[in-house]
Amino acid sequence: MKTQELLNILEQNQDKALLFEYAPNMLVGTNYHITEVKHITVDSVDCGAQTDSWKETIIQLWESPTELGKPNYMSVLKAQGILKKVGKIKPYNLNAEVKFEYGNAAFHTAQLFVNDFEIKNNNLIFKLAVEKTDCKAKGICGVPENIVLTNETDAANTNEPCCSPDGNCC
């Protein structure tokens, strides 16, 4: 989801509570705060020596230990106010991919993509997901698109050209 789409969804749902599902049927607690908004530029080089660059907006969520058991979630209107204030200080790149950074005692801290959202009762729920790592240079490195491994022995015996001394990669 792009930053502009997120801001539009918030604008259209100001009267709702804002919830985040960080794993299937697992919600960020009612005691969360928006503690940081990062405007990131990523400049990368992949294993095929190809360069890339893109922008990201990363919104950090933190659960306050002093507010455990808080009865209500943050309102969309309050979150929108926070994000507008940030945008006045550091303008958003509206085409940047938006991610939410979150972790708790039972879930590793991660930058989560917005997979979807839903309106349920009087709640706006953003459904977050972890994105798996991938090789961006499969074609250059000679890595087949879809390798199906049946067990750990198969994985250990797979000779991926990208990782071999005679491969085309860095």
**Same domain, residue pair 14 and 84:** yes
Predicted local distance difference test score (pLDDT) of residue 135: 85
**Same domain, residue pair 121 and 160:** no
Report the percentage of the chain scoring pLDDT > 90.
Answer: 74
**Same domain, residue pair 18 and 91:** yes
Count of the separate structural domains present in the chain: 2
Residue 35 reports pLDDT greater than 70: yes
pLDDT tier for residue 81 given thresholds of 50, 70 and 90: very high
User: Which whole-number Å values give the CA distances from 89 to 28, 58, 100, 158, 170, in the listed order?
Assistant: 27, 15, 20, 50, 40
**What mean pLDDT, rounded, does the chain reach?**
89
Predicted local distance difference test score (pLDDT) of residue 4: 98
Residue 88 reports pLDDT greater than 60: yes
Query: Which tens digit of pLDDT belongs to each residue from 104-154?
Result: 999 999 999 999 999 999 999 999 999 888 888 877 877 776 656 566 555
Predicted local distance difference test score (pLDDT) of residue 141: 79
**Same domain, residue pair 85 and 165:** no
Domain that holds residue 63: 3-129
Listed in sequence order, the residues at least 6 apart from 141 whose beta carbon sits closer than 8 Å to its beta carbon are: 47, 48, 135, 160, 161, 162, 167, 168, 169
**Same domain, residue pair 57 and 97:** yes
**Same domain, residue pair 8 and 72:** yes
**Same domain, residue pair 101 and 63:** yes
**Same domain, residue pair 81 and 145:** no
- The whole-model pTM stands at 0.84
C-alpha–C-alpha distance, residues 133 and 130, integer Å: 9
